[in-house]
Amino acid sequence: MGTGDGCERFDEFSSVERQWFAVRVVSDACRRRGKNPMNYLGTIFER
């Protein structure tokens, strides 16, 4: 499974897993910056 690096694993996920992975990463990043994750999650799911 390669180096187990995040970007590499990303390609092995199904589209649903990839979506949830993105949601989790974005949510964590936004919370760390004190921002509202929902603003960003909306843009992910519109694609």
pLDDT at 39 over 80: no
Q: What is the pTM for the complete model shown?
A: 0.41
CA distance 27 to 22: 8
Close Cβ partners of 45 (under 8 Å, ≥ 6 residues apart): 19
Residue-level pLDDT at 1: 40
- For the chain, domain boundaries: 6-46
Q: How far apart are CA 34 and CA 37, in angstroms?
A: 9
Tell me the pLDDT tens digit for each residue of 1-26.
444 455 556 566 678 877 888 888 88
- 40/33 Cα distance (integer angstroms): 13
Q: Look at phi and psi of residue 23 and say left if phi exceeds 0, alpha if psi is from -120 to 50, else beta.
A: alpha
Average pLDDT over residues 25-41: 78
Q: Classify the C-alpha dihedral 18-24-30-28 as positive or negative.
A: negative
Task: Give me the pLDDT at residue 18, please.
Answer: 76
